[in-house]
Amino acid sequence: MAKIREVLKGNKTTFEVDLGRVAGKRRRLFKPTERLAERTLKEQERKRKLLGNHWDELDFKSRWTTLEILEEMRDHGVTLTEVWETYQKTHLSHGKSIIEDAIDDFLDIKSEAGRRGRYMKEMSRALARFAQGREKRQLGSVGSGEIRSWIASFQGSAATRKTMQMRIKTFFAWAERQALIAKDPTTRLETIRIDQADPQILSVAECRRLIQSARAIDPDMLPYFALSLFSGVRPDECARLTKKDIDLERGQIVISGEASKTRNRRIITLLPPAERIFKKYTFGKFAVNFRRRRTAIKKHAKIKKWPNDVLRHTAASHFYNIYGMDEATKQLGHSASIMLKHYRQMISKEETEDWMNI
């Protein structure tokens, strides 16, 4: 129970407010008048009552964890104040960067470094979700536990959580390199691992129905299928190509470094089904309302399952039969390990011959 006592201090009468033991140490405040002492006592009692209310609001697990931590601190002779002061020195004082400012700087620097629009859009969206409710906090105040909880809040697939973990790790690794934080908290996170599903491709019958449907309801989309289904060009690369990149005289497609996902130039040999399309249909009219038009063609062809990058995966599996591993990877623009891990589906050479005749 706090008390007020009149005492002599330096030959002067003063009033001692004895607050008892706080954090293992006796705490006393001295005031020049009794009135100030009483006011101080009332304020301390108000704070204690408020603290008691906060304690009552905690669930049992939080109370128990708090008591365990305080017990461990006492065993090591450390006070709560010392712990907080140390945390401030090692985390909050380093750089003193605000989260929203750090995100803006990160995006500006990445844009200046030449990152493409899709990368910038995806990173911006992920970081905006992370910053929500944290905008004005210091970046150094974010710990690994908070990041782990944020990642776990995504209730979708494990692949979604893995993607978010990779993006937030990119940001905090950059912040450490820029000396905005003392240590990257994401280094303490366990890497999310997911089982690699078997590559999904379209059957030859589905490919044929797809091309027939495009011819029937939207022939201007056929050059897109020539690129993606019969040449293995990535969706983003398709959007960056122009008519001049299709060389019918040499029988090839030129993917420039500017258009390539990997930023490396490559040349793709035009296979007969793609060549037949480019000789008959005008290139470049598939970009407008692309998703709606592609969905309409899928529906017309009665194709229900459409896994991510299914057209490129289909092409890659046939490329393996046509070219073999080494040349197929050159045509597709990736490594042999990626070919085996993500793309190659075992299909017969007879199926590939049938596919070439679509």
For residues 161 and 268, state if they share a domain: no
Please indicate, yes or no, if residue 140 is contained in any of the structural domains: yes
Domain span at residue 212 reads: 204-356
Please indicate, yes or no, if residue 290 is contained in any of the structural domains: yes
User: What whole-number distance in Å separates Cα of residue 324 and Cα of residue 288?
Assistant: 36
Per DSSP, the residues of 64-79 read HHHHHHHHHHHHTT--
Last residue of a domain, which of 43, 66, 89?
A: 89
End-to-end CA distance of the chain: 91
Please indicate, yes or no, if residue 38 is contained in any of the structural domains: yes
For residues 170 and 219, state if they share a domain: no
Q: Alpha helix (H) ranges present in 132-233?
A: 144-152, 158-177, 204-217, 222-231
User: What whole-number distance in Å separates Cα of residue 191 and Cα of residue 231?
Assistant: 35
Please indicate, yes or no, if residue 67 is contained in any of the structural domains: yes
For residues 283 and 162, state if they share a domain: no
Please indicate, yes or no, if residue 176 is contained in any of the structural domains: yes
Q: How far is CA 127 from the centre of its chain?
A: 8
**Any idea what DSSP says for residue 88?**
I
Structure tokens at 70: 């305080």
Please indicate, yes or no, if residue 153 is contained in any of the structural domains: yes
Please indicate, yes or no, if residue 183 is contained in any of the structural domains: yes
For residues 181 and 222, state if they share a domain: no
Domains: count for the chain: 3
For residues 208 and 349, state if they share a domain: yes
- The residue type of 160 is T
Residue-level pLDDT at 93: 52
Question: At 138, is the secondary structure helix, strand, or coil?
Answer: strand
- The residue type of 117 is G
For residues 213 and 352, state if they share a domain: yes
Question: At 13, is the secondary structure helix, strand, or coil?
Answer: strand
Cβ atoms of 265 and 254 within 8 Å: the answer is yes
Residue-level pLDDT at 85: 76
User: What whole-number distance in Å separates Cα of residue 342 and Cα of residue 56?
Assistant: 54
Residue-level pLDDT at 352: 95
Residue-level pLDDT at 213: 97
User: What whole-number distance in Å separates Cα of residue 266 and Cα of residue 277?
Assistant: 21
Backbone angles phi and psi of 124, in degrees to 5: -60, -45
Q: How far is CA 11 from CA 8, 14, 29, 37, 347, in A?
A: 6, 9, 17, 19, 100
Sign of the Cα pseudo-torsion (348, 349, 354, 358, in order):
positive
- The residue type of 33 is T
Last residue of a domain, which of 89, 120, 141?
A: 89
Cβ atoms of 127 and 106 within 8 Å: the answer is yes
Please indicate, yes or no, if residue 135 is contained in any of the structural domains: yes
Question: The domain that contains 151 carries what CATH number?
Answer: 1.10.150.130
For residues 241 and 345, state if they share a domain: yes
State which residues of the chain have pLDDT below 50.
none
Structure tokens at 254: 């030129």
Residue-level pLDDT at 77: 87
> Which pLDDT tens digit goes with each residue over 87-132?
766 665 555 689 999 999 999 999 999 898 889 999 999 999 999 9
Cβ atoms of 265 and 182 within 8 Å: the answer is no
Residue-level pLDDT at 99: 94
For residues 338 and 220, state if they share a domain: yes
User: What whole-number distance in Å separates Cα of residue 116 and Cα of residue 292?
Assistant: 24
Last residue of a domain, which of 89, 116, 132?
A: 89
What is the dihedral angle through the alpha carbons of 192, 118, 311, 273, rounded to the nearest 10 degrees? -150
> Which pLDDT tens digit goes with each residue over 327-353?
999 999 887 777 776 565 678 999 999
For residues 159 and 179, state if they share a domain: yes
Helix 204-217 crosses helix 349-356 at what angle (to 10 degrees)?
10
Say which residues have a Cβ less than 8 Å from residue 190's Cβ, sequence separation at least 6.
none
Cβ atoms of 177 and 102 within 8 Å: the answer is no
For residues 143 and 258, state if they share a domain: no
Residue-level pLDDT at 90: 65
Residue-level pLDDT at 343: 60
For residues 80 and 29, state if they share a domain: yes
For residues 107 and 84, state if they share a domain: no
User: What whole-number distance in Å separates Cα of residue 154 and Cα of residue 161?
Assistant: 6
Q: For the whole model, what pTM was predicted?
A: 0.62
